[in-house]
Structure 1
Amino acid sequence: MPTQRLSVVVTRRLPKKVEERLSELFDVTLGPADRPMTRAELAEAVQDADVLVTNLRDRIDAGLVGQAGPNLRLIANYGAGVDHIDVATCRARGILVSNTPGVVTDDTADMTMALILAVTRRIPEGLAQMQSSNWEGWSPGALLGGRIAGRRLGILGMGRIGQAVARRANAFGMQVHYHNRRRLREETEAELGATYWESLDQMVARVDVLSINCPHTPSTFHLMNARRLKLMKPEAVIVNTSRGEVIDEHALTRLLKAGGIAGAGLDVYEYGEEANAELRELKNVVLLPHMGSATREGRAEMGEKVIINIKTFADGHRPPDQIVPGML
C-alpha cells in the first residue's frame, strides 16, 4: 500500500511555484487568503496537521502549542527568525522547529546599505520634491547629505548578515566596527577589516552609523534602550533590518524628535503595522514595509528550504535547519 502523505498546513500564501511543489509532495492545505491566519484558524491548523508551515506573522506561543493535536510533529518556518515561535515548549511537546537561514543574507545586506545611503544622502526628501513637482532647480545648498566613505560603521550582530553588511561597507570605504555575542576568528576579522568592541556602550558612542543585525531574543530585547541610544553622537544615524524589538521604539522616536541623533532607517518595527505615527512625520527617518528579504530569488529559495526540511523529516531524518532552544 502507498505511504500516506503528510498533512501540511501553510498559514500564508507562498510563491506559486513553491505551493505547486509542496502540493506535489504532500497533502497541502493553503491559507484561506493572502492574510495572516486568525488565532482560531491557527488553533484549528495545529489540531489537524502533521506539519505547519508558518511565517513571522504567526504567533505560535505556549498556549497555541498546547492545543496541538497528536499528529503535529514539525513546524517549518518560512523565514530565518523564529522569535514568534515558543521553541522550548515545542521541544517539550516533541514538535520539531525548522527555519530557512542564509538564503536572504545578501538581500538583507543590500537593503541595509540602501537604508544607510537613503538616510545619509536624504534620498526620500529628494524623491518627494520630484514627485510633488516642487523642485525649483539645482542649488549648491539644497538637500546636503553626508559622505559615507571614511565613516565608522558599527554592526550590532556579526552573523551571516552582519558580515555581508561589513563586506559592502568596505567597498564604500567605511570603517567597520562590531559588537557580537562571540568575537570572530582573527582571520575573519582581518578579511572583513573589522574592529571588535567588547563593550557595546563604547562602540555605540563612537560610530557614525549603527546597523542592527542581531536576532530578537530575550537577551536582545531593547538592547538599544533609551540609555544606550543617548550614547550615540548627535550626527550619527541608526539602521535596523533585523527585528524591531531590539530597539526601544518610543525612546528612539523621542531622541529623533529632540535632535539627539541625525536620522534613522527602519525596515522593521517594535509594533508592526502600528509603527509609531510620530516616526512617519519625521523628515530624517526612512521607513520601509519589511522589504529586506523581498526579492523573487530569495522568496523562492526560502520555499525550497521549507520543502527540503519537510521532505527530510518525512523520510525519517532530522531536518537540516532544525532549531533547538540552545541555538537562541
Structure 2
Amino acid sequence: MSKPRAFISRRIPQPAIDLIAAACDYGIWDDWMAAPRDVFLREAAQSDGVLVMPSEQINEEFLDAAPRVKIVANMAVGYDNIDVPALTRRGVLATNTPDVLTETTADIAWALLMAAARRVVEGHKTIEAGQWGAWHPFYMLGQDVYGATLGIVGAGRIGAAVARRAKAFNMRVLYHNRRRAPHLEVALGAEYRAFDDLLRESDFVVMTAPLTDETRGLFGAREFALMKDTAVFVNVARGGVVKEADLVEALKRGRPWAAGLDVFEVEPTPKDNPLFELPNFVGTPHIGSATLRTRTAMAMLAAQNLVNVLTGKPPLTPINALPNRV
C-alpha cells in the first residue's frame, strides 16, 4: 500500500521532517521564504495533506486546486489565513499549534513593553549616533512598570501568560474579553473591564486576542484617544487589529506615549513605514514564537497533526470538526 503524500510549505526543524518522512512520502519547499503561489498550489494538488505557515492563504482557490487534501496543518496558533468554513464544507480538517508558543510569545510582549517604557531602542540609537548627552534629572525619562496598571485585551492562553508575569511587577491587572475569565480573576486577581474603560484606566495596554471580523481594525484613532498620555500600547496578536495610519498620528500627538509592535498590517512591513521614523515606537519582525525550542515544538505538533490524519487517527489540536469523523 502506497504512503500518503504530504507537502511542507517551508523549511522546518529536522525532527518534524523526520516524523513526516516515517509515515508519508513528502515534498518540501526547502527555503526560508514562501514558495510562489503557483508552485504551492501545484504541489498541494499532488498531496493528501499540507503543513503550512501563516503566510499561505488557504481558501476556495486552494481547495479547487487541491481536491485530494484531507488536512491543512497550520504551524501557528492563529489561523486567520485559513477559510475554516470553506474547509469544513469540503470535508477538510484544519489544525493549529496552541499552547506550545504561549510562554515565548508572552516573553516578546514583555520585551516590547519594557523596551518602549524605558526607551531602550531610542537610548541605543542615541549612543550609536554619538549623541549621549550630559546627565541631568530629566534625561531620557521613561515610564515606571513596577506597580502600574496593565490592561490585557484577550484573555486566552497568551493573555493569561502576560498577566502571570505582571504579578512579579506588583501590577494591577485588568482584562477585556468576549467572555469573563473567572480563572484569571481567582488566580491572579485580574479585574474585568469594558473595552473603553480598560483603555482609559491602563498604563500599559497589551493586545493578545486573535484577528477576527470583530477585532479587525479594533485599535484606531478613537481607541488611542481614550488612552492615557503616559500609556504604552503593545500588539503581539495580528497586524490587522491595528489601523497603523491612526497609530502613527496618535504617537505623534503623544497619546499613547509609546508603542511596540511585533506584527504589522503588511508583512514584511516596508522599511519606509512611517512608524520607524518615530522615537516612541519599537518594532520587531513577527518573532513572538522565535526560539529554537518553541519553533521545533510548533513544527512537531503540526507534523503530528498531519501524520495522524493521513494515517487514520484524530488530530491532536483540530480547529474544525467534520461530521462522521472519529
Specify the TM-score bucket, using the shorter chain as the normaliser: over 0.9
Larger deviation, residues 237-246 vs 30-39: 30-39
Hey, what does 2:90 align to over in structure 1? Answer: 93
Hey, what does 1:63 align to over in structure 2? Answer: 61
The match for 1:296 among 285, 289, 292 is: 292
Taking every aligned residue pair, what percent have the same amino acid on both sides? 36
The match for 1:54 among 52, 55, 71 is: 52
Q: Does 1:266 align with 2:261?
A: yes
- Specify the code of the residue in structure 2 equivalent to 1:49: S
Supply the distance in 1 between the matched residues of 2:286 and 2:134 (Cα, whole angstroms).
33
Contact 2:117 2:145 survives alignment (8 Å): yes
Larger deviation, residues 43-52 vs 96-105: 43-52
Supply the distance in 2 between the matched residues of 1:242 and 1:253 (Cα, whole angstroms).
18
Give the deviation of 1:315 after TM superposition: 3.1
Hey, what does 2:3 align to over in structure 1? Answer: 5
- Any unmatched runs of 5+ in structure 2? none
- 1:211-236 CA distances to partner (integer Å, 9 max, x unpaired)? 00000011111112322222111111
Larger deviation, residues 243-252 vs 21-30: 21-30
Hey, what does 1:194 align to over in structure 2? Answer: 190
- 1:1-24 CA distances to partner (integer Å, 9 max, x unpaired)? xx3222110111112332233223
Give the deviation of 1:325 after TM superposition: 8.1
RMSD: 1.7
- Specify the code of the residue in structure 1 equivalent to 2:39: E
- Any unmatched runs of 5+ in structure 1? none
Contact 1:113 1:169 survives alignment (8 Å): no
Supply the distance in 2 between the matched residues of 1:208 and 1:325 (Cα, whole angstroms).
41
Contact 1:156 1:211 survives alignment (8 Å): yes
Residue pairs, 1:19-38, within 5 angstroms: 19-38=17-36
Provide TM-score, normalisation by structure 1.
0.93
Supply the distance in 2 between the matched residues of 1:148 and 1:311 (Cα, whole angstroms).
45
Q: Does 1:161 align with 2:158?
A: yes
- Specify the code of the residue in structure 1 equivalent to 2:263: V
Supply the distance in 1 between the matched residues of 2:2 and 2:292 (Cα, whole angstroms).
33
The match for 1:143 among 140, 148, 156 is: 140
Q: Does 1:277 align with 2:277?
A: no
Hey, what does 1:257 align to over in structure 2? Answer: 252
Larger deviation, residues 160-169 vs 15-24: 15-24
- Specify the code of the residue in structure 2 equivalent to 1:304: M
The match for 1:229 among 212, 217, 224 is: 224
- Specify the code of the residue in structure 1 equivalent to 2:205: L
Give the deviation of 1:61 after TM superposition: 2.0
- Specify the code of the residue in structure 2 equivalent to 1:301: A
Hey, what does 1:324 align to over in structure 2? Answer: 320
- Specify the code of the residue in structure 1 equivalent to 2:75: Y
Give the deviation of 1:137 after TM superposition: 5.8
- 1:77-97 CA distances to partner (integer Å, 9 max, x unpaired)? 111111001111111111110
Supply the distance in 2 between the matched residues of 1:96 and 1:42 (Cα, whole angstroms).
19
Contact 2:17 2:303 survives alignment (8 Å): no
Hey, what does 1:210 align to over in structure 2? Answer: 205
The match for 2:112 among 111, 115, 119 is: 115
Supply the distance in 1 between the matched residues of 2:33 and 2:112 (Cα, whole angstroms).
27
Contact 2:126 2:132 survives alignment (8 Å): yes
Larger deviation, residues 130-139 vs 164-173: 130-139
Give the deviation of 1:132 after TM superposition: 3.3
Hey, what does 1:132 align to over in structure 2? Answer: 129
Contact 1:163 1:192 survives alignment (8 Å): no
